[in-house]
Structure 1
């Protein structure tokens, strides 16, 4: 009797990792770069399906490729997580949200947790220092 082990779940990939993968391929392979510039949606769909075959790009999602040169710099401004409704992220239709928005939302949530933890640590340290200082003053006063 042969048992098959289920395939491992695909490793989550951040937007930066996906972009780096695509850029590296374009730099190495001129034919891939040509396909990327002429059919960015098709290439992105292929890359996403290589990660997880179930991923489908939303039909309305537009994809543009911009190539920098010595006289042209591109700055990409992702969607502001504050402008994304919770219903766009939580619900049955996750395909309605661009993948980068989900990554940005997760990163923003992590940043909030990290900042809250850092603030709690600073407050705890301040409380410990204040208590130590108060004890030092009390001890110093009792010695005199």
Structure 2
């Protein structure tokens, strides 16, 4: 009789990415859209989201993943899908910057990482996505030729 294979893994990462030019363009109403987009991208890419925080100019995500998975497709999917969904709700654009940060964590550091992400709103109270319906879009002095598409 053959024993079932034993597989256990503990691969964890803290991932962050920010808006183009760190503009504070994420609004309160965008947060659930971005959160859902990240969770949907995680499901499509076999990544498990353990914690996340969406701020006005950046996102933190704590994930676990299998050794046969890479994080790049998940991050690409989460960023593109969240911006597509947010931009479908408003005429002005929210754009993520190119790139991301991903750092590996030991399971012994998960509690501290969860706490760090949970405290983002307290740590960066000035970066809580505002509830007010302020105009979004380009920073003062930004011209069409400075747009992310023009600079790409």
Using structure 1 for the length normalisation, give the TM-score.
Answer: 0.31
Q: Which one has the bigger strand percentage?
A: 2
Higher relative contact order, chain-length normalized (CA < 8 Å, sep 6+): 2
Answer with 1 or 2: which has the greater Rg. Answer: 1
Q: Which one has the bigger helix percentage?
A: 1
